[in-house]
Structure 1
Amino acid sequence: MAINLQKGQRINLEKSNGSKLQNICVGINWGAIEKKGFFGFGTTKEAVDLDASCALFDASKKLQETIYFGNLQSKNGSVKHSGDDLTGDIDGDDGLDNEVITLDFSLLNSNIEHVAFVLNSFRGHDFGKIPFASIRIYEGTPKMVKEVFATYDIAHNSGFSGYVSMVMGVFYKRNNEWKFNAIGEPTKDKKLPETITTVMNQYL
């Protein structure tokens, strides 16, 4: 059963059958903002550009690589980004992820010990004004969901109102095993580099 992410919750990446998760997908699904027309007549849709990103750190917490819309794949292919979605679901919630980042633990370089996932609103749209925005971490591929591992809803959480950046969570290696810190916390950062700095200073 999928968990609802809360700050500080740490969990093992072990399935019910005792095997370890090897391939993780982090998917984000969101909608466009509805705006009322002049004098309250009609509505228009304003596109929302959210950006999911992934940062790889070594044991000394030094940044090694960032995978985002401008760099869609890590050097060895262990992390892949599905590509930049600039609008969200203009026509309503289709239930599909707008952006997906995949992570294969077996391909990660041995010096990587922290893998952080963050989300930024590229044009500064307030998370609290987006009609729906949900994040899920699951086993499978961008086109096939095997089992949802964890979820959380940004749009209906009052704690995200007024923010445009957040730390979704950090996978970290302990005793050669990968675990997950389910963070789900908004930050005061405006841009991706600032959010990565916050991760380094607070969440590794």
Structure 2
Amino acid sequence: MAINLQKGQRISLEKSNGSKLQSVCVGINWGAIEKKGLFGFGSSKEAVDLDASCALFDENKKLIDVVYFGNLKSKDQAVRHSGDDLTGDMGGDDGLDNEVITLDFGSLNPAVKHVAFVLNSFRGQDFGTIPFASIRIYEGTPKRVNEIFATYDIAHDASFRGHVSMVMGIFYVKNDEWKFNAIGEPTKDRKLEETVNTVMRNFL
């Protein structure tokens, strides 16, 4: 399995031992924004609320379900969200993911052929102003990382500056096999519903 995919790269979900991947996690880790005080004296932390979400589509690109902070499990229970983090790491990078979405391929509704992961800045805070914000897509559980196969550093990638939403990547079925497209593209959207529509129009 490839590690640290480039944007737009596609891979089959085959582990290094040749077996097929059964479940994946998408984890987001980010920090609060440090605000300097007046005339440079002191500083304070501004909470950052990033929202990881997942949209499930059938082969005709029809939306079947959306998992986000207001709906933590898909109808088939195959996609689960760890819950809404409203602040980010207030005390510096603790190395842990603030939000994790788990996808179990074996439990997915057979009608689902595309599973898209997106990220939105709930309060409209520019990705470029966040001190650290990274995404990793990996095999494992929310508490254990076995093998990483895609990472994005959205705080330090200039292409994300000035944006508040992005499409992380899409799992899709081809020849009865699940594959992954590491999209990593910012969008002009302000809300989750708009980002889901962008996925339907441009990336499926």
The question of a shared fold, defined as TM-score above 0.5 by the shorter chain, is answered with yes
In structure 2, stretches of 5+ residues that fail to align are: none
- CA shift, 1:169, in A, is 0.2
The one-letter code matched in structure 2 to 1:29 is: N
Q: Which residue of 2 aligns with 1:86?
A: 86
Q: Which residue of 2 aligns with 1:13?
A: 13
Q: Which residue of 1 aligns with 2:36?
A: 36
- CA shift, 1:68, in A, is 0.1
Q: Which residue of 1 aligns with 2:179?
A: 179
Q: Which residue of 2 aligns with 1:117?
A: 117
Of 1-10 and 24-33, more deviation after overlay is shown by 1-10
Q: Deviations over 1:97-130 (max 9, x none)?
A: 0000000000001110000000000000000000
Instruction: Quote the sequence identity (%).
Output: 77
**Cα 1:176–1:132 shift into 2, 3 Å:** same
Q: RMSD between aligned alpha carbons?
A: 1.0
- Report if aligned partners of 1:113, 1:173 keep a CA contact under 8 Å in 2: yes
Q: Which residue of 2 aligns with 1:203?
A: 203
Which SS does the other structure have where 2:71 is aligned?
coil
- CA shift, 1:5, in A, is 3.9
Q: Which residue of 1 aligns with 2:144?
A: 144
CA distance in 1, matches of 2:39, 2:122: 29
Q: Which residue of 1 aligns with 2:62?
A: 62
In structure 1, stretches of 5+ residues that fail to align are: none
Q: Which residue of 2 aligns with 1:107?
A: 107
- CA shift, 1:3, in A, is 3.1
- CA shift, 1:13, in A, is 0.5
The one-letter code matched in structure 2 to 1:160 is: F
Of 7-16 and 134-143, more deviation after overlay is shown by 7-16
- Report if aligned partners of 1:32, 1:87 keep a CA contact under 8 Å in 2: yes
Q: Deviations over 1:26-50 (max 9, x none)?
A: 0000000011111210111000000
Which SS does the other structure have where 1:4 is aligned?
coil
- CA shift, 1:4, in A, is 3.0
The one-letter code matched in structure 1 to 2:202 is: Q
The one-letter code matched in structure 1 to 2:83 is: G
- Report if aligned partners of 2:4, 2:148 keep a CA contact under 8 Å in 1: no
TM-score w.r.t. length of structure 1: 0.98
CA distance in 2, matches of 1:83, 1:6: 28
- Report if aligned partners of 2:32, 2:89 keep a CA contact under 8 Å in 1: yes
